[in-house]
Chain A
């Protein structure tokens, strides 16, 4: 036990005062007795000095009170290592907001589960609360204050994001500094087949039907071919929106999609979707304005989640695309430049390495992967010539997996399957991203084109050298398809991915969020990065007269599929701790956990005060019985 104010023990001197007061009271208190005659021989003796204070239970009670008061003033603290650690994981992903009828949502049930668990929190039990979307620790450090944690739970809401349970668990373990003694996960995901004994997963989700927007692509009138043959020839004033819908239910539904701008209906379409069917709706927008986002809404008879029923698209309304070509090979710049010159809607410049971005909308075309990864905007990367081998390969567009949709990625539009193309293919295939185009060479499939979206930035990597085939039609079609896909990244974003705008001069940047919250960012100049895109809608970043608007949408098939939910819990390898976003956190030894766990302070003053009050009540009762009141 420790005392925060040891000097308070000086109050023990009050015991001496008490003794003096008793002595004084004794000398003043007169007791009438029947007779002193039997004690006359005693009265002739002088009583010893130490017997001059006659004490009884009241005196000792008062002494005890004074001692306890002195101890309370010294603020004793009982230091003990916390007995138990508890990690609470609350799934705040978009699917938790699904309406399951009668106003119930999985999130409300999950939150109630955790609140109930906190009601049974033992003294000294340390708690960490983390959410999955975004992965964040609501308690920056372990706490024993259950009221604070309950309040955090009550003020937390689901986000328009997908979440990952094991990532949140890893973050919680990192905050605790060790594997928690108990982990409680409240989610709508199904219980995985294998869970550690200390992990309790409370699944509160039910299978409900849902129709969701799972993809949006906007095509502005550039000198680009129309999306498909069914559409009329595009005009310079016409934009197209390709909305991919999925019916996550066991019954067919008639889905209605409409696009509005400034409250004005621009286009609408109805389309039947079979059970668990994915389909595409293309809306043609006549002369849309570029000063406001296009709002897309989807309506279906049976739909549980509202967050994936709407999307926003920012049309830039420009007639040209800015492209920067960066390479240390003049033939590369020349070949790409010739392709770009074929389209008046594209303006391009050659920039030396390392390339510098003029705007966040500028597209980079290079043969240096490192430069593409450092580029703030979208990039198209080709292989370097010295690392390629010419061959006649059959190009095969990849089929998306899982949904049986005919067709392929936008990047491979108009490419005929198994078309033989003389290609200088990279000796070392690129890695990273989803292969959308394969090359069949010598009986082997080689990934030729990969696409990836990394933190909101789109990247297309082509494992062949364009300078070896500058007149190849498939290569040119592939080039323009890639450009089209890369350009739309600025028009449609996803929740959870950072927004990158600029460059802006140094100074405060004002951020208006879709939920109405306004934030101010301190900006030191250059590109502005905003990470908190957890709500779908339009984000406006402004500095002075400069305003940059970005649309962010909740597009996540995993979250939208509430008919067949998927578990995002990954069991760590045996002998390892819980996986964390940074990797695997190894399970610590007991000694290290002991050293890492902080001491738990239990103030004893309230208990002492309770004892003092009890003693005073006893004393009062004794006084009443003795008739001294």
Chain B
């Protein structure tokens, strides 16, 4: 159990309520009843906008007063609120607990922030953990009070073991019945890029709108602080190597790996944000994520 995981600050929660999940396009899985407002010719009572009349539109929607003034036909459109399905996936493999367990704790906190924003927008939220074994997740939650249940569930995540992201996604799609909706993957991204790309691509094929948040510690961004001689042991694969390279070489390698992730996300329309552990959670959730398009 992650013993130092604390509930989110009530002040932060109040500020998160003002945010909404940003949605680029509606996908299958959105149902009526949520708070996300889209402009659609629907039967909602809340007027949204005028659109030119096209044959086939409901003539009851024609604004005759406007026609009298402009001698053109316009149809009223109304706001329709839809409910989104939001999957929040947290990487809980061994790499997330190194070099410090605070990394997975921060990942969990970010996941809870995202979940709360979705719950506050009356969306369905489910949280799952990328870990060895059978994929398991929380049940779908729709109320804000469900955040507590999510917090208790996430507190058991410790960052242990190793699993192929691609393999896990495959099993999760089948086991958790993922299809459509939105998905946010929170990981350190320290895995073979091809493996991650294939996992994300698989979800994209399922018409899931993807967002990726990479959580790293300052030491991982400057590896020379950790790699100070000795035999390095990969926490997930168990591989060893006597790495003895200059600080610049190590940083360049890490930078190139992260840029590759970012480029893949950009090419594939996946929102990407990188979080350094020394950045305050409030700053990341309230400023960085909205600036990256995660929230509105």
Does B226 contact A42, Cβ atoms closer than 8 Å?
Answer: no
Q: Are A33 and B99 in contact (CB under 8 A)?
A: yes
Stretch at the interface among B61-69, B73-81, B136-144, B248-256: B248-256
B242 interfacial by beta-carbon distance below 8 Å: yes
Report which residue of A28, A29, A33 has the largest number of chain B beta carbons within 10 angstroms of its beta carbon. Answer: A33
Roughly how many angstroms separate A47 CA and B231 CA in the complex, as a whole number?
A: 13
> Residue of A at shortest CB range from B103?
A34
Q: Which residues of B contact A32 (CB under 8 A)?
A: 98, 233, 235
Are A35 and B250 CB-contacts (below 8 A) given A26-B229, A29-B229, A52-B244?
Answer: no
Query: Does any Cβ of A come within 8 Å of B128's Cβ?
Result: no
Q: Is B280 an interface residue (CB 8 A)?
A: no
Number of B positions contacting A (CB below 8 A): 38
Contacts of A54 in B (CB 8 A): 228-230, 244
Select which of B188, B232, B244 is within 8 A of A36 by beta carbon. Answer: B232
Most chain A beta-carbon neighbours within 10 Å: one of B192, B228, B235, B250: B228
Q: Please determine whether A36 and B234 come into contact, CB atoms closer than 8 angstroms.
A: yes
Give Cα distance in the complex from A291 to B81, angstroms.
Answer: 141
- The reply to whether A47 and B239 form a contact with Cβ atoms under 8 Å apart is no
Residues of B close to A39: CB separation below 8 A: 223, 241, 243, 245, 250, 253-254
- Contact assessment for B257 and A38 in the assembled complex, using a CB-CB cutoff below 8 Å: yes
| Contact of A31 with B by CB under 8 A | yes
**B242 A34 Cβ-Cβ under 8 A:** no
**Residue A43 interfacial (CB < 8 Å):** yes
Complex: A30 Cα to B241 Cα, angstroms? 9
Interface residue? A41 (CB, 8 A): yes
In the complex, B236 has a CB within 8 A of chain A: yes
One digit per residue, 1 when the CB lies within 8 angstroms of any chain A CB and 0 when it does not, for chain B 258-274 equals 10000000000000000
The chain A residue with its CB closest to the CB of B235 is: A32
Residue with the greatest number of chain B CB neighbours at <10 A, chosen from A27, A34, A39, A56? A34
Q: Which residues, 27 to 81 on A, are CB-close (under 8 Å) to B? A: 27-39, 41-43, 47, 51-56
**B245 contacts A42, C-beta separation under 8 Å:** yes
> Among the listed A26, A29, A34, A51, which residue makes an inter-chain contact with B220, where contact means beta carbons less than 8 Å apart?
A34
Given contacts A27-B231, A29-B230, A29-B231, contact A35 B241 (CB under 8 A): no
- Give CA–CA (A78, B35) in the complex, Å: 86
Tell me, in angstroms, the Cα distance from A28 to B95 when the chains sit together: 22
Query: Looking across the interface, which residue of chain A has its beta carbon closest to that of B216?
Result: A34
A27 touching B98, Cβ below 8 Å: no
Evaluate contact between B245 and A51: CB separation under 8 angstroms.
Answer: yes
Q: Tell whether B54 is near chain A: CB-to-CB under 8 Å.
A: no
B286 contacts partner chain A, Cβ-Cβ < 8 Å: no
Q: Known: A41-B253, A43-B243, A47-B244. Is A34-B229 also a contact (CB below 8 A)?
A: no
Question: Is B204 close to A, CB under 8 A?
Answer: no
Q: Give the docked Cα–Cα distance between A34 and B191 (Å).
A: 10
B190 interface residue (CB < 8 Å to A): yes
Do B245 and A56 have beta carbons less than 8 Å apart? no
Q: Which residues of B contact A31 (CB under 8 A)?
A: 226-228, 230-233
Q: A27 — which chain B residues lie within 8 A by C-beta?
A: 230-231, 242
Q: Which residues of A contact B241 (CB under 8 A)?
A: 36, 39, 43
**Interface residue? B240 (CB, 8 A):** yes
Q: A31 to B229, alpha carbons, bound, how many Å?
A: 8
Kindly list chain A residues whose C-beta atoms are within 8 Å of the C-beta of B242: 26-27, 47, 52
Q: Hey, what's the 0/1 contact readout for B71-108 against A, CB within 8 Å counting as 1?
A: 00000000000000000000000111011000100000
CA distance A34 to B215 in the complex (A): 12
Docked complex Cα distance between A51 and B229 (Å): 9
**A101 smallest CB distance to B (angstroms):** 77
Contacting residue for A35 out of B231, B236, B240, B243, CB 8 A? B236
Question: A26 CA to B256 CA in the complex, in Å?
Answer: 27
Nearest CB of A to B257, in Å: 4
Residues from chain A with Cβ under 8 Å of B245 in the complex: 39, 42, 47, 51
Complex contact B190–A34 (CB within 8 A): yes
CB of A42 within 8 A of CB of B243, answer: yes
Closest residue on chain A to residue B241 by CB atoms: A43
Task: Please give me the residue from chain A that is nearest to B231 by CB atom.
Answer: A30
A42 contact from B94, B228, B249, Cβ within 8 A: B249
CB-defined contacts of A26 to chain B, threshold 8 Å: 229-231, 242
CB of B87, distance to nearest CB on chain A (Å): 24
Identity of the chain B residue whose Cβ is nearest the Cβ of A51 in the assembled complex: B244
21 residue pairs of the A-B complex, CB under 8 angstroms, read: A25-B230, A26-B242, A29-B230, A30-B230, A30-B232, A32-B98, A34-B95, A34-B98, A34-B190, A35-B188, A35-B234, A35-B237, A37-B257, A38-B190, A38-B258, A39-B223, A42-B245, A47-B244, A51-B245, A52-B244, A54-B244
Instruction: A30-B232, A33-B99, A38-B253 are known; give 20 further A-B pairs, CB within 8 A.
Output: A25-B230, A30-B240, A31-B233, A32-B233, A32-B235, A33-B98, A33-B226, A34-B95, A35-B95, A35-B190, A35-B235, A36-B239, A36-B243, A37-B190, A37-B234, A38-B258, A39-B223, A42-B245, A47-B242, A53-B229
